[in-house]
Amino acid sequence: MTFNDRFIRACLKQDVDRIPVWYMRQAGRYDPEYRKIKEKYTLLEICRQPELAAEVTMMPVRKLGVDAAILYSDIMNPVASLGVEFDIVKDVGPVIENPIRSEADIDRLKPIDVEGDLPHILKTIQILSGELSVPLITFAGAPFTIASYLIEGRPSKNYIRTKSMMYGEPKLWNKLMDKLGDMVIAYLRAHIASGGKAFQLFDSWVGALSPADFSKYVLPTITRIFAELEDLDVPKIYFPGVASGELLPTLQGIQADVIGLDWRVSIQEGRRRLGERYAVQGNLDPFVLTAPMDTIKSYAKDIIDQGLMQNGYVFNLGHGLFPEASIDKLKQLTEYVHEYSASVIAQRS
Ligand code: CP3
């Protein structure tokens, strides 16, 4: 089979024959076959079996016809190597036994040893890079988002303890951001050395900050991560998560290729706030997938029409898929994005 590089081309703002599609959280519970595997193994057990993790990564590529795979893993996996014990609890998310709250807790975090502690993740990437006919996206959680789990100990609505460290003990906060920044850099570098073809940095919850606080407490680390990974010859995506529209103008200096948008800001407005540099990815509200197919298509059409106004557009959702999504609708949506965008592009040439 020939390699489908449409996703890479779009990330680099090159010409494409049709708009590439992938979905955040495309490997998951909406798929009965995945749910069956989950009856036997937990997420972390799947991640520790490279053949199985590779299989779960490939399932949505086969079933949905998407143009990229995303590694089956979780943003919490690398923190195991720092010495943090956690669990992924069903219907809750990451839960940390001993949250990180004092300077001693931060000092205890070890530097990441990807080859030593997370060889299963690299092995999964190696298997996939030999088998896939679409690019493999690997990922890491960004420092703010990981810190929010480490400090709160579990998913949070208002990030009270996280913000309390950020405002009250900025030296500690910066120390933690530095350590998590180092973790992300080494982790993603190892992914790409093992065969990853692009990466996404997930900052799912950083939209909880004002642009001024984001610029002061988080952006320096994001800027450093992309600067230190600049030499990697793969597309680099930053996803500033939900409700991040107000942060977009502050991102203009980071050395990423693509910025992920949530659905609260249109593609056109997102591009305006970001400036010329970046390709954009997004941004269908995942819950629009509960609507009838015609409604889903009309939302998608509006997004695609804006995406097609300039090179550098990847279709995705504005946040991850939810468990109740239907495979059949996702498949139809993927086909629709491909067919509709191909017809518009064909008319132009
Ligand atoms: O996108 C993919 O298909 C690749 C796999 C992937 C998972 N987690 C597997 C997973 C990715 C990219 C992630 C990233 C992730 N994990 C993020 C960033 C993306 C986002 O949604 O903003 C975050 C915040 C997490 C932390 C996390 N892990 C949460 C909040 C949950 C949900 C808990 C629940 O049960 O509702 C998880 C668990 C998780 N990670 C699941 C999957 C497929 C679902 C539970 C399971 O199948 O065990």
pLDDT value at residue 196: 98
The CATH architecture that domain 6-348 belongs to is Alpha-Beta Barrel (3.20)
Which residue owns the Cα nearest ligand 1 atom 29?
93
Chain-centre distance of CA 90, in angstroms?
Answer: 20
Nearest-atom index, ligand 1, CA of 91: 35
- Category of 342 on φ-ψ map: left (φ > 0), alpha (ψ -120 to 50) or beta: alpha
pLDDT averaged per 10 residues, the chain (length 349):
94 98 94 96 97 98 97 98 96 94 97 98 98 98 98 96 98 98 99 98 98 98 98 98 97 97 98 97 98 98 98 98 96 98 95
Cα–Cα dist 306/303, whole Å = 5
Is the distance from the beta carbon of residue 78 to the nearest atom of ligand 1 less than 6 Å?
A: no
Nearest-atom index, ligand 1, CA of 23: 1
Cα–Cα dist 281/165, whole Å = 32
Q: Name the residue ranges covered by the structural domains of the chain.
A: 6-348
pLDDT value at residue 73: 98
Cα–Cα dist 217/285, whole Å = 28
Cis peptide before 283 (omega within 30 of 0): yes
Q: How far is the CA of 25 from the centre of ligand 1 (A)?
A: 7
Q: How far is the CA of 72 from the centre of ligand 1 (A)?
A: 9
Nearest alpha carbon to residue 109 among 166, 142, 151: 151
Nearest alpha carbon to residue 300 among 265, 274, 326, 338: 338
pLDDT value at residue 334: 98
Nearest-atom index, ligand 1, CA of 28: 43
Q: How far is the CA of 321 from the centre of ligand 1 (A)?
A: 9
Q: How far is the CA of 275 from the centre of ligand 1 (A)?
A: 30
Which residue owns the Cα nearest ligand 1 atom 25?
75
pLDDT value at residue 222: 99
Q: How far is the CA of 328 from the centre of ligand 1 (A)?
A: 21
Nearest-atom index, ligand 1, CA of 74: 8
Side by side, which strands form the sheet with 136-141?
69-70, 136-141, 198-202, 236-239, 258-260, 279-284, 313-317
Whose structure tokens read 């973790």?
A: 183
Q: Which H/E stretch holds residue 168? A: helix 160-168
pLDDT value at residue 49: 98
Is the distance from the beta carbon of residue 239 to the nearest atom of ligand 1 less than 6 Å?
A: no
Amino acid identity at 310: Q
Is the distance from the beta carbon of residue 226 to the nearest atom of ligand 1 less than 6 Å?
A: no
